[in-house]
Amino acid sequence: MAKRQGSSKKKILELLEILAFAFILSWGLRSAVVEASTIPTPSMSPTILINDRILVDKLYFKFSGIHRGDIIVFNPPKNLANPTGDPWIKRVIGLPGDTVQIEDGKVLVNGQALSESYEMAKPDYNYGPLQIPKDSYFVLGDNRNASYDSHYWGALPAQNVEGRALFRYWPLKEFGLLAKQ
């Protein structure tokens, strides 16, 4: 009987070790490699809709940098209200050193109008010009007229970027990569 109790304690200890390892591995992957996120607003419509579920790749930018057209997940600048504390998602429009202006329904980067097939509607506002500071980005939602983005609060500090939207896994009918368009 004593042998059986020792065996049970050993199995419980092994199970606790496995659970602890799984928790540490899961936490490590989530904080450094990939994280699931749910979209709470229509600011990225029609590309990403409310309640879509995406995976955020947190390693990509460490190796390849951020490019115009990337969809990024970030923490909003500290001076903005963020009641939920959740990260935000927008598309990169302006890179460090670029001059961004929005005029007559066109987004201009360094004086050239962008061709944006992903845009829900042309912007109904004017903005800028603004030269993007070093280590910052200009981000806009694809739903330009219903997005709280850089045209309200200016450039996004690079240190706020968490990662890029890699792919949508829900709803299943929309499953796939969220590549630049």
The residues assigned a catalytic role are: 43, 90
Which ranges of the chain would DSSP assign to H, the alpha helix?
Answer: 2-32, 60-64, 150-153
Structure token digits, residue 6:
């020792």
Phi, psi of 76 (to 5 degrees): -65, 155
Q: Which of 29, 38, 141 is nearest to 84 (CA)?
A: 38
Burial class (CB in 10 A: 0-12, 13-18, 19+), 165: buried
- Indicate the SS3 state at residue 136: strand
Whether 36 and 168 have beta carbons less than 8 Å apart is answered as: no
